[in-house]
Amino acid sequence: MRIIIFGCGIVGRSLLELLKVRKKELNISYGLAPKILGVVDSKGFAINTEGLNIDEILRIKDLGRSVGEMENYGKKGAFELEILENIEFDLLIDMTPTNIVNGEPALSLIKRAFSLKLNVITTNKGPLALAMPLLLELAKHNNVSFRFSGTVGGGTPLLDFAKKCLMGDKILAIRGILNGTTNYILTEMEKGKEFSEALREAQVKGFAEADPSLDIDGIDSASKLVILANWILGKKITLKDVKVQGIRDIRVKDLEDAKKKGKTIKLIASVNGEAKVEAETIPKDSNLAVSGSLNAVSFISQYAGEETIIGRGAGGKETASSVIRDMIEIRGLMG
C-alpha cells in the first residue's frame, strides 16, 4: 500500500511510530505493508517513489524541523496539489490541523484526491463538519474508500461499533459526551473549582487547546455529532444544522444543586430528529455520567435498546491506532 501523509504532528508522528514498531505484526496479521512515498508538513515536503525511511522522518520532526529539509528527497515551501498527479499511490492520509471556518487545506486536498481516484483517511473533523454529505457523495461517485475513524472518539471505535456491530438493527437516536475537555472542566467544577481554574488545569494537562473556545462553546462536539449523524443515521447535515450551546454559563452552584438531587450536568450532543449540543442535567447513575476527560456515547436502537461505549476521546497513539484500523479496512477492500 503506497501512501502519502499530510501532517506530521502529534497524530502523524504517532502513526509513523506505530507503523514502525508494529511492522511485522501488521504484515503477518493483516497483510498490511505500507510504503510511505511522501510526507508533507506546513513548511515543506519529501517524496521518494521508492519509499521514505520512517526513522529519518521521525528524526527530523523530533529536531523541530520540516520534512522539507530531508536529505535528497526534501523540498522546502508549499506543496502544490498538482504534484499528486505525477505520483502513483493508493492512499492519502490527512492529519492536518482542524479548520472549522472553511475546512482548508484539507477540504481541497481530499476533493483533489477523490478526483484522482485515491482512497482517503482523515483524522480532521473540519472538512467533514462543513461538507460531509458532499464528500461522501464524491467518494462514492469516484468509487474510492473514505474513512475517518479518528475524528470521533480518538482510538475508541465509536463509528465502527455503530456501523458494524449494530448492523441489522436500526439505530434510532444517538446521545453522548463527545468532548473530553468540557467533561474534565464540568467534573472539576463539581468538586468545587471555578470554571476558569478548571479550564486552566485542562490546558496545563494538555486536554484543551490554547484557544479552547471550540471545546467550550460546543463546536467540537457539534462537529463530531455531524459525523455520527451522517455516517450512522444517514442524515445529510453539516455544522450549520446543529443547535449549539456550550458550557460558559454553567456555575459551580448549578452543579451543587444538581448533586443534591442525585444528578450531574454534562455537555450532551444528541440527534433524535433534531441535532443539538447542550448542557443537560442527567441522573448520576446514567450511562453517560462519566467523569474526567472520558467520552461516552449511547446508541439507542430499535431491538438492542441502549448500548453505551466509553473511552478516551483523543490522544496521539489512540488516534493513530484508528488510522491503522482504517488502513486495514481499506487494504481489505483493495483486494
Ligand X SMILES: NC(=O)c1ccc[n+]([C@@H]2O[C@H](COP(=O)([O-])OP(=O)(O)OC[C@H]3O[C@@H](n4cnc5c(N)ncnc54)[C@H](OP(=O)(O)O)[C@@H]3O)[C@@H](O)[C@H]2O)c1
Using the minimum distance from each CB to ligand X, give the nearer residue, 270 or 319.
319
Q: Is 39 in the site for ligand X (CB under 6 A)?
A: no
Using the minimum distance from each CB to ligand X, give the nearer residue, 205 or 261.
205
By CB under 6 A, what part of segment 131-160 binds ligand X?
Answer: 150, 154
Determine how many CB atoms are found less than 10 A away from the CB of residue 187: 20
Q: Is 95 in the site for ligand X (CB under 6 A)?
A: yes
Using the minimum distance from each CB to ligand X, give the nearer residue, 150 or 218.
150
Task: In whole angstroms, give the CA distance from residue 243 to residue 278.
Answer: 8
The contacts of residue 16 (CB under 8 Å, 6+ apart) are 5, 8, 36, 54, 57, 58
- DSSP state, residue 290: -
Q: Please give the positions annotated as active site.
A: 224
Binding mask 306-325 for ligand X (x = CB under 6 A): --------xxx--x------
Handedness of CA 274, 129, 299, 146 (dihedral sign): positive
Q: How far is the CB of 172 from ligand X (least distance, A)?
A: 27
Using the minimum distance from each CB to ligand X, give the nearer residue, 6 or 73.
6
Q: Is 92 in the site for ligand X (CB under 6 A)?
A: no
Using the minimum distance from each CB to ligand X, give the nearer residue, 7 or 246.
7
Cell numbers that stand for 333 in this block: 477492500
Q: Is 293 in the site for ligand X (CB under 6 A)?
A: no
Piece of the chain touching ligand X by CB under 6 A; list 39-47, 128-136, 191-199, 239-247 = 39-47
Piece of the chain touching ligand X by CB under 6 A; list 7-15, 112-120, 135-143, 287-295 = 7-15
Q: For residue 308, which of 153, 91, 108, 99 has the smallest C-alpha distance?
A: 153
SS3 160: helix
Q: Is 41 in the site for ligand X (CB under 6 A)?
A: yes
Q: Identify whether the C-beta of residue 223 lies closer than 8 Å to the C-beta of residue 125.
A: yes
Using left for φ > 0, alpha for ψ between -120 and 50, and beta otherwise, residue 305 falls in: left
Q: Is 112 in the site for ligand X (CB under 6 A)?
A: no
Write phi, then psi, for 3 (nearest 5 degrees).
-125, 145
Q: Is 93 in the site for ligand X (CB under 6 A)?
A: no
Contact residue for ligand X among 3, 4, 5, 11 (CB under 6 A): 11
Using the minimum distance from each CB to ligand X, give the nearer residue, 9 or 311.
9
Task: In whole angstroms, give the CA distance from residue 98 to residue 105.
Answer: 9
Piece of the chain touching ligand X by CB under 6 A; list 10-18, 27-35, 240-248, 269-277 = 10-18
Binding mask 197-216 for ligand X (x = CB under 6 A): --------------------
Q: How far is the CB of 102 from ligand X (least distance, A)?
A: 13
The contacts of residue 231 (CB under 8 Å, 6+ apart) are 132, 148, 159, 162, 163
How big is the CA angle at 38 (ends 14 and 1), to the nearest 5 degrees? 80
b (16+ CB within 10 A) / e for 251-260: ebebbeebee
Q: Is 66 in the site for ligand X (CB under 6 A)?
A: yes
The footprint of ligand X (CB under 6 A) covers: 6-12, 40-43, 66, 95-98, 105, 123-125, 150, 154, 314-316, 319
